[in-house]
Structure 1
Amino acid sequence: MSSHRAFQLKLNPLTGNSEWIVIEDNDESFAQNFHKPFLATTSYLDMLNDSTRNAAFRQAIQKTISKPCHVLDIGAGTGLLSMMAARAMGDEGKVTACESYLPMVKLMKKVLRLNGMEGRVKIINKRSEELQVGFDMPSRAHVLVSEILDSELLGEGLIPTLQHAYDNLLVENAMTVPYRATIYGQLVESTFLWKLHDFHNNEATVSDSIRLTPPGLDSVLGIKRQQYAMHVNPLQEEITLLSEPFKIFEFDFWKRPESYGETELCVKATNDGRVHVVVSWWVLQLDQEGTIYYSTAPRWISSPTITSPIGWCDHWKQCVWFVPGSGISILQGEEIRLLATHTETSFSYNFDTLVPTTEILNHRCMTGDFQLVLPPERAAIYADKEWRLSMLKAVQSMGKDRLLCLVVDDSVFLPLLVAKLSEASVMSLLPGLRERGLQYLQAVAHANGLSHSCIEVLEKNVQQLNMDDIHQKKVDLLIAEPFYVGYDGMLPWQNLRFWRDRTTLNDILSEDALTIPSKGILRACAMSLPDLWKSRCCLSSIEGFDHSVVNATLGACGHPPELEEGPCLPFFVWQCGEFDVLSETFDVMEFDFSKQICECQGKSQVKFTKRGVCHGFVLWIDWVMDLQNSIVISTGPDKKYWKQGVKLLGTPRTVDPQSLTGVQPCSAVVEACFSPLKGELKIILDFL
Structure 2
Amino acid sequence: MLSVIYKTLNPSLYLRAKTHLIWIPHSLKLTATRTMSTQRVFQLKFEPLTGNSEWIVIEENEDVPESSQAPLLATTSYLDMLNDSCRNRAYRLAINKTVTKPCHVLDIGAGTGLLSMMAAQAMGSGDSTAQPNSKGTVTACESYLPMVKLLRKVLHVNGMGRNINIINKRSDELEVGVDIVSRADVLVSEILDSELLGEGLIPTLQHAHDTLLVENPLVVPFRATTYGQLVESTSLWKLHDLHTNEAKASDGIHLVPTGLHSILRVKSQQYAMHCDALTNEIKLLSEPFKIFEFDFWKRPDSHGETELQIEATTDGRVNAVVSWWVLQLDREGTIFYSTAPRWISSPINTSKGMSVCKGEEVLLNACHTETSISYNLKSQVPKTEVNQNNLNAGDFQLILPPERIAIYGDGEWRLCMLTALRNALSQKAEPLCVVADDSVFLTLCVAHLSKTAHVLSLFPGLRDKGAQYLEAVADANGFSMDHVEVLQKTKTCLTMDDTHQKKVDLLIGEPYYYGNDGMLPWQNLRFWKERTMLDPILSKDVLIMPCKGILKACAMSLPDLWKSRHSLSKIEGFDHAVVNTTLGACGDVSSPKEGPCLPFFIWQCGQIKELSEVFTVMEFDHSKPISRCQGKGLVEFTEPGICHGFALWIDWVMDVENSIALLSGPDKRYWKQGVKLLATPVAVGTKESGRTGECCSTLIEASFDPSSGELNLQHTFS
- TM-score, scaled relative to structure 2: 0.91
Contact persistence 1:219–1:367 (CA under 8 A): no
Match of 1:10 among 45, 66, 71: 45
2:452 paired with 1:409: no
Secondary structure, counterpart of 2:638 in structure 1: coil
**Alignment partner for residue 78 of structure 1, among 99, 109, 112?**
112
Match of 2:698 in 1: 668
Q: 1:227 aligns to what? A: 270
Residue 463 of structure 2 is aligned to residue 434 of structure 1: yes
The Cα of 1:38 is off from its aligned counterpart by 3.0
Contact 1:38–1:555 (CA under 8 A) maintained in structure 2: no
Tell me if 1:678 matches 2:708.
yes
The residue aligned with 1:201 is 244
Superposition deviation, residue 37 in structure 1: 4.2
Structure 2 gap ranges (5+): 1-36, 126-134
- 1:379-528 → structure 2 map (5 Å cutoff): 379-402=405-428, 403-422=431-450, 423-528=452-557
**Which residue of structure 2 lines up, in the alignment, with residue 289 of structure 1?**
332
* Alpha-carbon contact 1:35-1:552 (below 8 Å) kept: no
Residue matched to 1:62: 96
Counterpart of 1:231 in structure 2: which amino acid? H
Match of 2:4 in 1: none
State the distance in 1 between where 2:237 and 2:505 align: 39
Q: Give the Cα–Cα distance (whole angstroms) in 2 for the partners of residues 55 and 662 of structure 1.
A: 39
> Residue 314 of structure 1 corresponds to which residue in structure 2?
none
AA paired with 1:678? S
Supply the AA of the counterpart residue of 2:449: L
**Structure 1 position 115, deviation (Å):** 0.3
Alpha-carbon spacing, 1:5–1:602, altered in 2? closer, same or farther (3 Å): same
Give the 3 Å change call, closer, same or farther, for CA 76–276 of structure 1 in structure 2: same
On the 8 A contact 1:328/1:361 being kept in 2, the answer is: no
Q: Residue 515 of structure 1: SS of its match in structure 2?
A: strand
Give a deviation string over 1:302-340, Cα, whole Å, max 9, x none. Answer: 26xxxxxxxxxxxxxxx22222xx210111110111111
Aligned AA for 1:459? Q
Which residue identity does 2:109 align to in structure 1?
G
Secondary structure of 1:377's aligned partner: helix
Per-residue deviation, 1:68: 0.5
Partner of 2:672: 643
1:47 deviation in Å? Answer: 0.3
The answer for the alignment partner of 2:121 in structure 1 is: 87
Q: Shift of the alpha carbon at 1:200?
A: 1.2
Task: Show CA shifts across 1:276-303 (max 9, x none).
Answer: 0110001100001111100000100126
Note closer, same or farther for the CA distance 1:35–1:466 as it changes in structure 2 (3 Å cut): closer
1:212 counterpart SS class: coil
- Residue 189, structure 1, aligned to residue 232, structure 2: yes
Question: CA offset at residue 564 of structure 1?
Answer: 2.0
Name 2:632's counterpart in structure 1.
Answer: 603
2:426 corresponds to which letter in structure 1?
Answer: K
* Structure 1 partner of 2:67: 33
- What amino acid sits opposite 1:572 in the alignment? F
Counterpart pick for 1:340 among 366, 371, 375? 366
Aligned to 2:606: 577
Q: Secondary structure at the match of 2:420?
A: helix
Any residues of structure 2 matched to 1:546-557 within 5 Å, and which? 546-557=575-586
- Residue 629 of structure 1 and its aligned partner are, at CA, apart by 0.4
Deviation per CA, 1:352-400: give whole Å up to 9, x if none: 247x99xx96699645510000000001101110100000111112142
What is the DSSP-based 3-state SS (H/G/I as helix, E as strand, rest coil) of the residue aligned with 2:152? helix
The 3 A distance-change label for structure 1 pair 659 and 429 is same
Structure 1 residue 415: Cα displacement: 1.0
The reply on whether 1:115 has 2:162 as its aligned counterpart is no
Quote the Cα distance in structure 2 between the aligned partners of 1:382 and 1:10: 30
Whole-Å separation in 1 of the counterparts to 2:304 and 2:262: 28
CA distance 1:399–1:343, shift in 2 (3 Å): closer
Could you tell me whether the CA contact under 8 Å between 1:552 and 1:559 is conserved in 2?
Answer: no
Secondary structure of 1:123's aligned partner: strand
> How far apart are the structure 2 equivalents of 1:561 and 1:69?
37
1:38 partner SS? helix
Corresponding residue of 1:659: 689
- The code of the aligned residue for 2:89 comes to A
Q: CA deviation at 1:401?
A: 3.9
Taking every aligned residue pair, what percent have the same amino acid on both sides? 66
Of 393, 397, 401, the match for 1:375: 401
Corresponding residue SS for 1:615? strand
Q: CA shift at 1:680, angstroms?
A: 0.6
Q: Which moved more, 1:182-191 or 1:661-670?
A: 661-670
Tell me which amino acid in the other structure corresponds to 1:472: Q
Q: Give the stretch that moved more between structures: 229-238 or 557-566.
A: 557-566
Offset, 1:652: 0.5
Q: Which runs of 5+ in 1 are unaligned?
A: 304-318
One-letter amino acid matched to 1:330: V
With a CA cutoff of 8 Å and minimum separation of 6, indicate the structure with the bigger relative contact order. Answer: 2
* Structure 2 CA distance for partners of 1:365 and 1:614, relative to 1, 3 Å: farther
Q: Which residue of 1 aligns with 2:308?
A: 265
Say which SS state the counterpart of residue 342 (structure 2) adopts: coil
What is the deviation of 1:648?
Answer: 0.2
1:163 is the counterpart of 2:206: yes
Deviation at 1:666, TM superposition (A): 2.0
Counterpart amino acid of residue 445 in structure 2: L
Residue 535 and residue 431 in structure 1: after superposition, are their counterparts in 2 closer, same or farther (change >3 A)?
Answer: same
Distance apart, 1:562 and its partner CA: 4.1
Seen in structure 2, the aligned counterparts of structure 1 residues 476 and 362 have a Cα distance that, compared at 3 Å, is same
Distance 2:274 2:693 in 1: 40
**Contact between 2:285 and 2:315, CA under 8 Å: does it hold in 1?**
yes
In the superposition, the TM-score normalised over structure 1's length comes to 0.94
| Paired amino acid for 1:131 | L
Counterpart of 2:658 in structure 1 is: 629
Distance change (3 Å), C-alpha of 1:663 and 1:131: closer
Q: What SS does structure 1 have at the residue aligned with 2:371? A: coil
Q: Deviations over 1:629-679 (max 9, x none)?
A: 010101110001000000000000111113344778521111110001011
Range with greater deviation from structure 2 (151-160 or 656-665)? 656-665
CA 1:591 to 1:202, structure 2 compared with 1: closer, same or farther past 3 Å?
same
Question: C-alpha displacement at 1:578, in angstroms?
Answer: 1.0
